[in-house]
């Protein structure tokens, strides 16, 4: 059974810690769910348990979400940063990889861009560019506490604050995975992120998972999860010299 550990003083600033092999990096998991408190880290429990069975120490984190009193951006992102830093100080022996899903990937990749010592970040069906996502998305307006009639220029400027694309270029390697059949977050957002990564000379790659969609990433039996494991293994196996050399920011299907 995992241990519940707190990385901050608030109720939602905690995570489930699954100890693993000392020679493997900690996998920090950031769940999605429209940034709302209707969704919790238990969405990732099956994934966390499977990764832990493979020997990885896993830090499946919770964070404060929209719907809790006074919680809006940047509190969510700050919590993910704090959870990463807590792992560095208390849990990590062989590096850390951030693995995030959907709206959680907005937070996870945004945070990874500011922690360039990380071995990498894996985005699974991630909302990686909030501006491209559109200004009419209700979840995004709630995230930033924006009124329905907020000025469009203000909206785009505020959305850019949390968009991983706006952090480019950054050194943390990013592996982007997306289902071709995703009806929740269009895979074109991941293509857009990779196009920008390529222009910025970043170490970032894209894999499109054919025949699967959004929630398959939460199923350890899926092709999407198999791609996640492969991305983690690739990042974990890279030498320091490899991590200093950008890879081709291309795309491929599987």
Q: Does residue 141 register a pLDDT over 90?
A: no
Angle at 80 between CA 10 and CA 183, to 5 degrees: 115
Q: pLDDT confidence of 12, banded at 50, 70, 90?
A: very high
How far is 69 from 57, CA to CA, in rounded Å? 32
Burial label, 80 (beta-carbon count in 10 A; 0-12, 13-18, 19+): buried
* Amino acid 252: pLDDT: 46
pLDDT in tens, 28-44: 999 999 999 999 999 99
115 within 8 A of 172, measured Cβ to Cβ: yes
pLDDT in tens, 223-234: 999 999 999 999
> What is the percent of the chain with per-residue pLDDT over 70, rounded to a whole number?
92
Across the chain, what does the average pLDDT equal? Answer: 92
- What's the first-to-final CA gap in the chain, in angstroms? 34
> What is the percent of the chain with per-residue pLDDT over 90, rounded to a whole number?
81
pLDDT in tens, 46-100: 999 999 999 999 999 999 999 999 999 999 999 999 999 999 999 999 999 999 9
* Amino acid 52: pLDDT: 98
Alpha-helical regions (H) of 113-151: 130-133, 138-143
Burial label, 179 (beta-carbon count in 10 A; 0-12, 13-18, 19+): buried
* Amino acid 140: pLDDT: 86
Structure tokens at 224: 């999407």
Q: Does residue 249 register a pLDDT over 70?
A: no
* Amino acid 251: pLDDT: 47
What does the pLDDT average to over 132-147? 78
Q: Which domains does the chain have, with CATH numbers?
A: 3-253 (3.40.50.1820)
pTM for the model stands at 0.93
What does the pLDDT average to over 162-186? 96
* Amino acid 240: pLDDT: 54
């Amino acid at each position: 059974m995992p241990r519940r550990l707190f990385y901050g003083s608030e109720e939602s600033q905690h995570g489930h810690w699954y100890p693993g092999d000392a020679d493997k990096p900690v996998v920090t998991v950031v769940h999605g769910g429209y940034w709302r408190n209707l969704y919790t880290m238990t969405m990732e429990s099956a994934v966390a348990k499977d990764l832990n069975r493979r020997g990885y120490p896993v830090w499946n984190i919770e964070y404060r979400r929209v719907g809790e009193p006074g919680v809006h951006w940047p509190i969510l992102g700050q919590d993910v940063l704090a959870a990463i830093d807590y792992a560095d100080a208390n849990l990590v022996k062989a590096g850390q990889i951030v693995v995030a899903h959907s709206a959680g990937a907005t937070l996870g990749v945004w945070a990874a861009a500011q922690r360039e010592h990380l071995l990498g970040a894996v985005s699974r069906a991630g909302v990686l560019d909030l501006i491209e996502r559109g200004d009419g998305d209700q979840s995004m307006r709630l995230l930033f506490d924006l009124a329905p009639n907020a000025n469009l220029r203000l909206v785009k400027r505020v959305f850019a604050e949390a968009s991983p694309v706006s952090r480019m270029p950054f050194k943390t390697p990013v592996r982007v995975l997306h289902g071709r059949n995703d009806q929740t977050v269009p895979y074109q957002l991941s293509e857009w992120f990779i196009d920008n990564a390529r222009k910025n000379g970043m170490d970032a790659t894209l894999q499109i998972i054919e025949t699967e969609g959004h929630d398959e990433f939460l199923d350890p039996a899926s092709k999407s999860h198999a791609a996640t494991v492969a991305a983690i293994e690739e990042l974990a196996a890279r030498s320091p010299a490899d991590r200093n050399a950008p890879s081709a920011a291309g795309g491929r299907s599987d």
